[in-house]
Structure 1
Amino acid sequence: MSTTSDVLDLLQERGFIHQCTDVAGLRQSMARAPVTAYLGFDATADSLHVGHLQGLMLMRWLQRAGHTPMLLIGGATTRIGDPSFRDTSRPVLDEASIAANIDGIRSAFTRYLGLEVPVVDNAEWLDGLGYLDFLGKVGRHFSVNRMLTFDAIRSRLEHSLSFLEFGYTLLQAYDFTELARRHGCTLQIGGADQWANIINGIDLGRRQSSLDLYGLTMPLLATADGKKMGKSADGAVWLNAHRLAPYGFWQFWRNVDDRDVGRFLALFTELPMDEVRRLGALQGAELNEAKIVLANQATLLAHGPDALESAQRAAAGAFGGGERADMPTCVLDAARLAAGVTLAELAVESGLAASRGAARRLAAGGGLRLDGVTAPDADAVLAGENGEWVLSAGRKQHARIVVVS
């Protein structure tokens, strides 16, 4: 792929583009020379999740076209929290938690885009910025009246919006201008809910230094059943293996709604669009082929070939009677088995349910199974002498229960 604006057509075809501040200007800028584009994350967790994957894949396509992706981590802004479309403030994290989260986010980002990708922390310029300096450099360029028209701000006024959070959009605007000044970054990528923040950065760059900056937003994704992308019944679908095993990640994609398969193949794999359209058009039982391709391709990108092979073996053990060795395992002491342990306890310990109450609800709905047989009572005591069982939560998650002496 060339370094020209051809990539914008590709991104549009695959479903990545929601809005762009100046399509013609960005196309011309890309045609003149490679651009540097940044994607920003606050360090609120030690892993990114599937809800962030759309941005990572977009950046991969830009990188393949010869452009430079950049990661901005909000080491400073994490302490404040983006109020965009939130009902409540985010909890404040301590410095040690922020540092650990930064390492985890960097790990996920560089797996998709390579170790050579520049990673920048906005604490570099925000930590040393005095309040009066900030008012002079940034605050004087913005109208409070205009800021109150932004949906992201207005939605919080119905609850409670602190002055700290109100200033977040100005900090993000300043980030963009600093990245432009320090690193020649001229394109900001974000979700559709970041539109106002991106616009503010472009305005600030023009007013301060007559910079030509651009913004591109992605549609906010939800699954066909209306759930926010990246969430499951048991929480976020994490990209880092310490948060979610590759097998669980594979299962998420294998069990997506039939209506989402074609769209997800376009967004979350690098298959040619002709193949995406072929797989997305399959019907009935044949659509399972497309889901397996989606699961394989997504897991390969996230975790690499060895983890994919392990996940495939685990899936064979769960669904095809094959080897179970790679399935997530809960080790149970023989003495504890003899004393009595419930399926609800095991569901929690193996990660299949968030709590015993959740396990009971799962069982009541027919979703808890032991060796493929529905277990309607989660408080039933595990019994038997075979020393190994497969406990399942619906069709999506399975774990080995192994007894050791």
Structure 2
Amino acid sequence: MKMMLGDEYDSYIESFNDKRLYGLRVNNLKISTEDFLKICPFKLEPVPWIENGFYYSEDDKPAKHPYYFAGLYYIQEPSAMTPANVLPIDEGDVVFDMCAAPGGKSTELAAKLNKTGLLITNDISNSRAKALLKNVEVFGVPNLCVLNEDPVGIASRFSGFFDKVLIDAPCSGEGMFRKDNKLIKAWEKNGPEFYSQIQRNIILAGADMLKPGGKLLYSTCTFSKLEDEDSVIHLLTNRPDMHLIDIKPYEGFSHGFDTDEGYHLEKAVRIFPHKMPGEGHFVALFEKDGEDYTSSKRPVSGKTKLPDELKEFMDSTTFEYDPAYINIRDTRVFLTSPYMAEERGLRIIRNGLLLGELKKNRFEPSQAFAMALTNDQFNNCLDLSVSDDRVIRYLKGETIDIDDFNVKSGWTLVCVDGYPLGWGKNANGQLKNKYLAGWRWM
């Protein structure tokens, strides 16, 4: 770090005496930033380079608030918001988040897609991939596939498939030492030499999965040149059809450290904690040469006849869907994306939006389906104020008394201040709780 920073080294070391910063990012898939600020109960300060990012006080507990359970925001360290913010996403894109858990970047990519195209989000760890699934479902993402794969191992399956690829690579974590000093021991066990080999394989695989004209974002939360600039050079040397492109500048961003080889590493961005109100990060944006004229959309054959009980339930919603992409497996009903590739041979945690389950002569909607709806898309809603103690009781899984509301019998979409939380079933003013057990308020 002394060699890298020179005269700035003392300021860098001094930054370790500063308190860590806490951040949240508004879910623009569900609510505009402007509308969120009108109802936000926390004291927030804007993250200057992230349009929907905010600092919050350590005294606030946003993970213990009903709006968190409604998926209105994601808790994320401010610098870590940068990669998904920098990668330009167009509606209709097919996007791959290669090393995605726990889902902070995936949720922002999904918000940018705005329920169009497809987000394939992946993690090599099964337990982390399941946590990733929960976060994208809380955020209300319908156009998704969650994989549990080694990204290098599946590169040939998705050759030239994606419009955009994000690689937030496994790294030695030097930029997070202030936030979590336990990472120092992990660094001593596996440092930059260990991770750089993993990164070099991953970044080449990401480039191979990209369409001509597509863009790839590579990031780490470490300072090591071996893991940052040298990984960029490895890609540019081995994939000559890839080139670095500029990232929109912001005051406090540092350039990548250039070399004499003419790789234009100054186009990469470094975030240092003594220059920016956040932890450490490295971000590089690439574009693949050429243009792509192929359609990612797969055709469907014939019309799909839905079971009567499923059709009856879907008719009680104004949720837009194409029956041709309804996929029924055993008793579970999924709405899959028209952009999804052939799935055989892949370890899939979830392909598409889980709509629910077919039981004997009835259909039971899923928690994920509730989160993908808006309150005006279902014909029977219970809208509780955030100050109503029944909100917390509902989130804890309790039966609640709702005879003071004019709610029809049967399936009920439970909302807080107009934003869905989950399902209940109303019978004579008593709401039988259908909130997913694994998501309950603890």
TM-score for both structures, normalised by structure 1:
0.31
Instruction: Give the strand-richer structure, 1 or 2.
Output: 2
Structure scoring higher RCO (CA < 8 A, sep ≥ 6) equals 1
Instruction: Give the helix-richer structure, 1 or 2.
Output: 1
